[in-house]
A and B are shown apart, each in its own frame.
Chain A
Amino acid sequence: DAGVTQSPTHLIKTRGQQVTLRCSPISGHKSVSWYQQVLGQGPQFIFQYYEKEERGRGNFPDRFSARQFPNYSSELNVNALLLGDSALYLCASSLSGNMGSGNTIYFGEGSWLTVV
């Protein structure tokens, strides 16, 4: 079975532009989360979606938004890009929205965003 897949793998944007990153969860998984990993740091939580509803939001500005589609795939949108948004954006999926029943969170390979 395919793991968590993300696209694009690499992209370069200019300050002020907008970007959309895409994520397909593991088949059967209904929860998708997004994380930002700046070079040299650990990943930081941005959003979790479960059954197309936002379950949680991290400490990120409103320029960051996301949604989950009926097929459970997800998009992360970032508007008015800043140089500081340059990072690896990771998507993660799991079966359900909480940690019960031995739920496991699986990460994709990420999308590298460079803002120039």
Chain B
Amino acid sequence: AQSVTQLGSHVSVSEGALVLLRCNYSSSVPPYLFWYVQYPNQGLQLLLKYTSAATLVKGINGFEAEFKKSETSFHLTKPSAHMSDAAEYFCAVIPSGGYQKVTFGTGTKLQVIP
């Protein structure tokens, strides 16, 4: 079964510092990969998605992620953290083919320190 592993349930960065949230997937065939953000007491908002068109994916709010097949990774980055980036981030995967069963990671809570 497809799965994703998010390293670090909590990440703290200073405002203006680099944000790096790690995600590794398990699959022999490159799947569809996503990053979603969830603000407190809200639903999920799509940040970006990888669908094999390009390995470097740019998303909203200045976030981007790079698909690395050799490392089975899809890490999320942002050059400069803002206070408004404080939220929980979920990496998610859908296997190629089949129906839309999204499998989510356990989430990483990002804290931005002023």
> B100 touches which one: A33, A44, A102 (CB < 8 A)?
A33
Interface size on B, residues (CB 8 A): 26
Quick check: A104 and B100 within 8 Å, CB to CB?
Answer: no
Most chain B Cβ neighbours within 10 Å, of A41, A92, A107: A107
A43 to B42, CA, bound (A): 13
> A45 touches which one: B34, B96, B103, B105 (CB < 8 A)?
B103
> B99 touches which one: A41, A55, A107, A108 (CB < 8 A)?
A55
User: What total count of A-B pairs have CB within 8 Å?
Assistant: 68
Contacting chain A: which of B44-52, B60-68, B78-86?
A: B44-52
> A97 touches which one: B45, B99, B107 (CB < 8 A)?
B99
Q: Given A33-B102, A56-B101, A98-B100, decide whether A104 and B43 contact each other with a Cβ distance below 8 A.
A: no
Quick check: A99 and B104 within 8 Å, CB to CB?
Answer: no
Quick check: A41 and B107 within 8 Å, CB to CB?
Answer: yes
> B90 touches which one: A42, A58, A110 (CB < 8 A)?
A42
A: residues with CB less than 8 A from B are: 4, 31, 33, 35, 41-45, 48, 50, 55-56, 58, 90, 92, 94, 97-99, 102-110
Going nearest first, the 5 A-B pairs with the smallest beta carbon separation are A42-B104, A107-B44, A109-B43, A56-B99, A55-B99
B: residues with CB less than 8 A from A are: 32, 34, 36, 42-46, 49, 51, 53, 90, 92, 94, 96-107
A-B contact pairs, 17 of them (CB 8 A): A33-B102, A41-B107, A44-B104, A45-B101, A45-B102, A50-B99, A56-B99, A56-B101, A90-B43, A92-B44, A92-B102, A97-B99, A98-B97, A99-B94, A99-B96, A102-B51, A109-B43
